[in-house]
Amino acid sequence: MDELIDLLPAGCVRLDARAADWREAIAVAGGLMVDAGFTTAEYTAEMIAGVEEHGPYIVVAPGVAFAHARPSPAVRATGMSWVRLAEPVAFGHETNDPVTLVVALAATDTGAHTSAMASLARLLGDPGAAAALAAAPTPEALRAVLSGDDEQPAPAAAKPPAAGPSLHKILTVCGNGVGTSLFLKNTLEQVLDRWGWSAYVTVEATDTISAKGKASEAVALLTSREIARTLGDVGRPVKVVQDFTSTAEIDAVLRDTYDV
């Protein structure tokens, strides 16, 4: 998982940080990226504004927030920061509050960090790795856990769908199309790989505006509760996922989508 380590230098890891609320928690994560030269302070403001506009959709799993904004002039280089809070704070999420881990991402474009997000999704979805990350005593120890590769392939779970003249498509959707939607895409692709369905179903991460135009191409749209409310009726099933790291939850959503 070298790509993930490359994006997260030790100086961008803060353990047992204190924050009074969710805005301050994001500000701590944003400040680390400013200090590393990844962003300007304006990017931190953009991350906070995204939550103010769309709600706490960045809380992708119990206790985990994935802060980000669109690529902008405020991003100087693709990079990440990692903030483990001494005391959890509420972001206002219905099921995943309170948050103890804030991972922040700044990306120069939509493709610069795909492999790193896939690695992070696998790690946070693995109970053993997640526990090791939560207990890491130093930034160096945390980065050592992140450098591991514990992906475990699983056998196919179901017969493939009738693909027809073209591949089936599923959209994963967030406010910006470069952060939580990509995170969800990676976990969904893990499930498709385990089912043996990757040759039949493609997954595209996108933003809310683009998703409305692309919905007719898709079998279903997967997203957070907050973004589902923003999307409204798009003419295709919109499936809410609460834990973007849970292959078990996404497995169930996929089974419901295809009536497996």
- Which residues are marked as active site? 68
Contact present, 180 and 120 (Cβ < 8 Å): no
Residues 6+ apart with CB under 8 A from 52: none
> Distance between CA 94 and CA 91 in Å, rounded?
9
**Number of C-beta neighbours around residue 57 at 10 A:** 30
- Verify cis geometry, omega within 30 degrees of 0, for the bond prior to 153: no
Q: Which residues pair with 65 in a beta bridge?
A: 59, 102
Nearest-5° Cα angle at 129, 126 to 134: 120
> Distance between CA 68 and CA 204 in Å, rounded?
18
